[in-house]
Amino acid sequence: MGTTPAPQLNDGDISWVLASSALVLAMTAPGLALFYGGMVRRKNVNSILMQCFMCLSIVSVLWVVYGYSLAFGPGHGWVGQWVGGLDWFMLNNVSIYTPDHWAPGANWDPTTSYGPTVPNQCYMIFQCMFAVITPALVIGSFAERVKFSAWVWFTVLWLTFVYCPVAHMVWSHDGIENKWGVLDFAGGTVVHMDAGIAGLATALYLGKRIGTDKPGMHNVPFVMIGASLLWFGWFGFNAGSAICAGPLATSAFVVTNTATAAAAISWAACEWIFAGAPTLVGASSGAVAGLVAITPASGFVNVGGSLWIGLLVSVFCYFFVAFVKPKFGYDDTLDPFGVHYIGGLWGALATGIFAANWVNPGHTGVTEGNPGQFLIQLKGCSVTTVFSFIMTWVICFVIDKTIGMRVSAEDEIIGLDLSQHHERAYTILD
């Protein structure tokens, strides 16, 4: 057998993926930090900003040491369907000159390359930013009541035993969900469903905060600024996932903006109908829900599909946030479950409905006569949900029984800014 010539690295594609990496980085800090920080009480805002900032720092180190290898490295044997090995430990064999899974002179196989025109390290740093924001999203469910030391251990363990395996299952060529044919262009299951269901697990494990009957949200402009930065950075999240500067990136960019705008309108309309007035926080939350829902579908659906995804996601998410959460009484503080899990679930299933062959050849959904794709999406969503929930609960249990997860009642009343970090964002506290 002769060798198959590998495609040449493309400077335009490399530039776009690196720029997208920077856009996704900004989604965590300052984007998510401000979005979450504005919704907590003033005595806890620094703790949220600190956790988001340190999530960027901690995960960035763990990713290059072993995270990328576990998530995207070659799997071995039966366990290789669930998690990668350590072939790429400390970025060993992760080249700055060549794409993954091949070397000059080797028989290149296009089916085993994540980005054939960008170096492996370029793809690695892009995926690093996805790994950064996912545990940061979980913060929103247990905000205002977890010790910083416990949060550090939670982040390390959750990245290792939940995020990396889920990313491998869905996105790695060896992954079991990938082999089933699950479609997730930019992280609906890997990022949003994964984080959202983990958030529910932590909220149920920890129980309610003290003083939830008192006003919580302290800075609405923070929320809008954070949501706007998320919207801006999400173009790198979704369009960057094309791993090329080409037509597919263009389509992903357009449908991302369209679904987000539609979802902001839809959430505002829901508030107007059920609560009597549209709010800035509601419109911001709707935009985030739209971003979440279009994420898995962004490389597979056309503008028409994106409109339906955006309009309906806010209806589903608003229902869970405004009606289901109060009914069952769980304290999902900043609604990662209600927005990211529910939105991610709808987006993943909607991919199986609206996937269009002309957008991404070879991928079709129910609207193009392929109902089987919807069932594959449902199967993948089920596996991710069960795995993430159980593993997150186990991690919470282990941390709680060793160093303890929750701050003392006194520290919670004082606020995490002072009790955990000995500083505060404002001179006057609630």
For the chain, percent of residues with pLDDT exceeding 90: 87
- Residue 250 in any domain: the answer is yes
**Do you know the residue count of the chain?**
430
| Listed residue (96, 100, 51) closest to 72, CA to CA | 100
Q: How far is it, in rounded angstroms, from Cα 224 to Cα 7?
A: 43
- Whether 103 has a pLDDT exceeding 70, the answer reads no
**Helix (H, G, I), strand (E, B), or coil: what is residue 251?**
helix
Q: Could you report the per-residue pLDDT of 190-233, keeping only the tens digit for each?
A: 999 999 999 999 999 999 999 886 667 889 999 999 999 999 99
* 342 vs 309: CA distance, rounded Å: 12
Give the residue numbers spanning the domain of 65: 11-421
Which residues neighbour 349 within 8 Å (Cβ) at sequence distance 6 or greater? 374, 377, 378, 381
In a domain, 4, yes or no: no
CA distance 165 to 162: 6
Tokens of 410: 């006194």
Closest CA to 305 of 317, 321, 293, 315: 293
pLDDT at position 99: 74
Residue 428 is assigned to a structural domain of this protein: no
DSSP per-residue string spanning 41-77: -GGGHHHHHHHHHHHHHHHHHHIIIIIHHHHHSPP-T
Weakest mean pLDDT among 114-123, 245-254, 277-286: 114-123
pLDDT value of residue 428: 63
Report whether pLDDT(109) > 60. no
Our count of domains for the chain comes to: 1
- The pair of structure tokens assigned to 269 is 């309309």
The residue among 265, 233, 353, 260 whose CA lies nearest residue 301 is 353
CA 72 to chain centre: 17
CA gap 198, 154 in Å, rounded: 11
Whether 132 maps to a domain, the answer reads: yes
Q: List the CATH number of the domain containing 246.
A: 1.10.3430.10
Residue showing tokens 């160093």: 403
Do the domain assignments include residue 1? Answer: no
Give residue 207's pLDDT.
96
Which residue, among 187, 132, 131, 135, has the nearest Cα to 164 in the 3D structure? 131
Flag whether 359 is in a domain. Answer: yes
DSSP sequence for 405-416: SBPPHHHHHH-H
- Residue in 46, 42, 41 with CA at minimum distance from that of residue 428: 42
Mind listing the pLDDT tens digit for each residue in 154-167? 999 999 999 999 99
Kindly state whether residue 165 falls inside one of the protein's structural domains: yes
Would you give the distance in Å from CA 381 to the centre of its chain? 14
Residues 28-40: tens digit of each pLDDT: 999 999 999 999 9
Residue 424 · residue 222 · CB < 8 Å: no
CA-wise closest residue to 252 among 209, 295, 298, 190 = 298
For residue 203, is it left (φ>0), alpha (ψ between -120 and 50) or beta?
alpha
Backbone angles phi, psi at 146, to 5 degrees: -115, 135
Domain assignment present for 385: yes
**DSSP assigned state of 146:** B
Q: Find residue 146's DSSP bridge partners.
A: 406
